[in-house]
Chains A and B, each alone.
Chain A
């Protein structure tokens, strides 16, 4: 919980990681990809405040103690949601697996939610693994990385029939939330890999599932926003938006937040630190202090209320994951129901 000016904010970090990218975990023969991936993540960290930058050595393999300190002791987070990314073609034991996350989570009851994942190209074996993970770790959410390389394939779409088979299975297993992360590759390579229209199809066909598009579809914010206005079960995951723009590019942060609040709305935006890319402390504190600047160029955009910030920082994700929020952090009823799908008005005019 974070308290500022007498207001209490319940913080759900809905997108964070516990990875192992140390050289010992690089797949022989694929070292350049493993190295390229973690160096790319490390460069993202440079977009945060200088005093929060880590050495590449720490970044490759931060410890459990680092994580507990940065996220919970210093970072104000009440509940953190692990989002796995496997990348087993490059990292021998995986970059950030359900098992690795859950093993840490089990040592600290009540602080973590362990999401799992699937890869539709894994076939029946993958379905069985999904079933096992959901049963063992109680996962209610999935993280899907569509650009993952798998046995010669450079990615998949949510709208692929093979993926629908997995989404159907996931729904049957009680999964509620699907976090989607787009990446640079997908078959065929001539198509725009960041295109979000496959999420649009899946969201329409699986209305019982919520689709949280991480980093708000960056670099396709415009396509994401337009799609999100059409689909009541599509949410904006703010990972990268706060971490990558709020400090480094405040003007663009303001414009992106203004657009998201207009098109997607404050009830469907969720905070995620993307730890260990960025520590949550400066993001939470900075966002609570942040306001849409008084600037002619930004005059189209709404100001943020305290209720808006409380929803984005935790109440919306708490709703998606049925997390119990202490009464002192809840909003009075008059401020609306966070995360309520039927609040999502379709935008038909400006």
Chain B
């Protein structure tokens, strides 16, 4: 097995294209701004931007400020609720860009494309878009996956601390301000803040993502084990999704196709 690497299947997901690859940039760089806005939209399950995941098939802005974005997913049957969230979030992000007068976000090649595209275009919400098939909007679903992201981020942040010899009791006593700054820590703070959980320097490093309560020293080993498991689960999903996306859109690994 040692000779097999992650490169066996294909390279990492399509990198974010250089701004010049986004068509219709024009003098004001509006398309660049739209691309940056799309980079704030995440797949809620994978907790990664749709731009780095390769889910943006194209992004164009025509002269009068009309933005059109096409999204694509790893399979025809990706879960419709998450697909809806990504299309709706992309619509909101693009619409908020100064200079964009009209936005159209279209999900291609999905069993529920029609319902999702029409629902988002009409700002109808999820329940109305799936008439009779959904009982509530997707806020709780989103929160569930933010809590998973907090756990996974806890593993990312705590692993080096544990490797450096921090004992469970010490970790339980640490605050976010005690941890050296890193992109992982900044991300963990943002996910906690998104959930309304304490994210300032004085907040405990280890908390229950459902309640915000600090983790007791005796519970730290299991908490960290669970955090590692959650991160493994998300990363395994991401690796399978990227392989499936590449099988479905083999040409998409080339960012020059963004047009």
Contacts and interface: CB of A to CB of B under 8 A. Distances in A.
Interface stretch (B25-33, B125-133, B185-193, B205-213): B125-133
Contacts of B135: 188, 190
Nearest to A187: B133
28 contacts: A33-B111, A37-B76, A40-B75, A43-B244, A43-B247, A44-B244, A189-B80, A189-B130, A190-B126, A190-B134, A190-B140, A191-B81, A192-B81, A192-B141, A218-B236, A222-B148, A245-B236, A245-B240, A247-B8, A248-B6, A248-B9, A248-B243, A250-B6, A252-B235, A252-B236, A252-B239, A293-B2, A349-B222
A132 interface: no
B36 interface: no
A188 B136 contact: yes
Contact of A184 (B80, B130, B229, B236): B80
Interface string A262-278: 11000000000000000
Contact of B228 (A194, A300, A348, A349): A300
Interface in B187-245: 221-222, 224-226, 228-230, 232-233, 235-237, 239-240, 243-244
A220 interface: yes
A33 B222 CA distance: 43
B76 A40 contact: yes
Nearest to B136: A190
Nearest to A348: B222
Contacts of B151: 222
Contacts of B173: none
Q: Considering residues B4, B9, B236, B244, which has the most beta carbons from chain A within 10 angstroms of its beta carbon?
A: B236
A226 B137 CA distance: 27
Contacts of B80: 184-185, 189
Interface residues of A, number: 55
B79 interface: yes
Contacts of A191: 81, 141
B75 A248 contact: no
B178 to A, nearest CB: 22
A277 to B, nearest CB: 12
B139 to A, nearest CB: 9
B224 to A, nearest CB: 7
Given A47-B243, A289-B1, 9 more contacts: A43-B74, A46-B247, A47-B9, A47-B240, A184-B77, A219-B45, A296-B163, A300-B228, A348-B222
A290 interface: yes
B1 A221 contact: no
A183 B126 CA distance: 19
B87 to A, nearest CB: 14
Interface in B153-184: 163
Nearest to B224: A350
Contacts of A37: 76-77
Contact of B229 (A225, A248, A289): A225
Interface in A13-47: 32-33, 36-37, 39-40, 42-44, 46-47
A290 B148 CA distance: 30
A12 B173 CA distance: 49
Contacts of A250: 1, 4-6
A290 to B, nearest CB: 6
B259 interface: no
A221 B81 CA distance: 19
Given A250-B5, A350-B222, A245 B239 contact: yes
B100 interface: no
Nearest first, the 10 A-B pairs at minimum CB distance are A36-B76, A43-B247, A350-B221, A350-B225, A46-B247, A221-B233, A222-B233, A188-B135, A219-B237, A184-B79
Interface string A211-239: 00000001111100110000000000000
A247 to B, nearest CB: 6
B78 interface: yes
Contact of A221 (B79, B130, B229, B239): B229
A188 B129 CA distance: 13
B120 to A, nearest CB: 15
A189 B134 contact: yes
B144 interface: yes
Contact of A43 (B130, B222, B228, B248): B248
A44 B126 CA distance: 29
A20 B4 CA distance: 33
B16 interface: no
Given A247-B4, A349-B221, A221 B236 contact: yes
A189 B243 contact: no
Given A43-B244, A190-B127, A286-B1, A184 B237 contact: no
Contact of B233 (A189, A219, A245): A219
Nearest to A221: B233
A255 B240 contact: no
Nearest to A290: B1
A193 B141 CA distance: 10
A188 B134 contact: yes
